[in-house]
Amino acid sequence: MTRHSGSSLPVSLNPSLLLWARKESGFPLDRVARKLNIKKVERVAAWEELSGETPTMRQIQLLARLYHRPLSLFFQPKPPKLPPLAAEYRRLLGVVAGEESPELRLAVRQMSNRRDRAMNLLEELGDAVPEFKLKAHLNDEPSVVAERLRKALNISFETQTAWRDEWQAWHGWREAVEKLGVLVFQFLKVNLREVRGLSLLKFPMPVVGINSKEQIAGSKSYTLMHEVIHLMLAAGHEEEPAIKEKRSEKQWEGVEHFAENAASHVLVPESALQGAAGPKRRNMPWDIQGVRRLARQFRISPLGMATRLRASGYMDWTAYQSWKEKWNAFLKALKPKSGGIATPAEKAINRTGRPFVQLVLEALDSNRITSVDAARYLDLKFQHFDELRQTIRIGMSRSEAHD
């Protein structure tokens, strides 16, 4: 007689929930089968097709973990109705709305939930929701939009060049953006080839997300400004969420080029660039090291500086493309540097930003949420909260350690 443990017995549940959870999480059948160590994809498909096959409790637990869903979801009478994720984030080049990777879908969902929690906590505490007031239009000059943003950020050129390095610059730009009523999060496990940054077009208190796999601090700063420009365009009714955006790919490339140019002007104002690079000359030679030296003066990435040089006429498009190819080859030849080891508290701050951390701590201290809630909101064990408070008080004492 064969004995079955409780976790190995088949379980009766609504198969439509299995199908909904998989598709909502973006997983193809074959990837689910591999994750659950099931040799035949047809077996997983049978669970969703009312064909007699049912998963065991252990397999349902594994599915809940894989899809990042509560176990109780699989025993509901019908799937919940949720708005499409593409109704929240801006259009991304190369990403088809509704066909995002599971990692990107999870990142968007987590950031959206975090923003909703921030809104709820502000209401609980009786605090006003910050309002993002900046707007931009595609018929504006990118340099004018950049000047508008830079003035709002209140970062002088003297402050910028006084920053110790690109990491301190990244923290400075991030803090300035957060003061404008924007939540700045970093998301995990998404391939850089899919997306370096994105923005959630939810007002008030929109969100900018930066891919934590980006190891170059100057690139983080550039991506941050790029996404804020997209927020300004959305606030000016020039952009729609990805699911509503009807422009062709070529037309959208024009929007992206506008955001690129404006972002590069924010980090490198024209007058400062001319003072550092000198007068423009036809067919000026720009090698990797020359652009790197100039980028270091402004605490930005070499690619961001090359983009700026192109926008200002120091490089034409052909020279820029040639330089970019050489730069990509240069990066591939570099040995990756190992970052410092971040503490759990530093990781929480890097991931969610200081305003969100401070909001959660204030709600906890006011007994608006429990310690269990606070730990869940920050994805941080409560045993690290004393260290978190200390880190928030003194600020990051060193360059940002990598997650």
Last residue of a domain, one of 333, 355, 372: 333
Same domain, 308 and 203: yes
Same domain, 158 and 304: yes
pLDDT in tens, 240-255: 999 999 999 999 999 9
Same domain, 350 and 298: no
Same domain, 161 and 265: yes
Same domain, 290 and 353: no
Cα separation values, 31 from 25, 27, 110, 233, 354, Å: 12, 6, 22, 37, 36
Please report whether residue 110 resides in a domain. Answer: no
Give me the domain span that covers residue 20: 6-82
Q: Name the helix (H) or strand (E) containing 22.
A: helix 15-25
Please report whether residue 315 resides in a domain. Answer: yes
264, 304 in Cβ contact below 8 A?
yes
Same domain, 239 and 328: yes
Residue 337 has pLDDT above 80, yes or no: no
pLDDT in tens, 200-215: 999 999 999 999 999 8
Please report whether residue 270 resides in a domain. Answer: yes
pLDDT in tens, 26-79: 999 999 999 999 999 999 999 988 776 788 899 999 999 999 999 999 989 899
Same domain, 295 and 372: no
Report which of 14, 9, 132 is spatially closest to residue 77, judged by C-alpha positions.
14
Same domain, 165 and 254: yes
Please report whether residue 195 resides in a domain. Answer: yes
The pLDDT-based confidence of 398 (bands split at 50, 70, 90) is very low
Please report whether residue 224 resides in a domain. Answer: yes
Same domain, 319 and 176: yes
Query: Tokens 């199908």 label which residue?
Result: 19
Query: DSSP state, 192?
Result: T
Please report whether residue 35 resides in a domain. Answer: yes
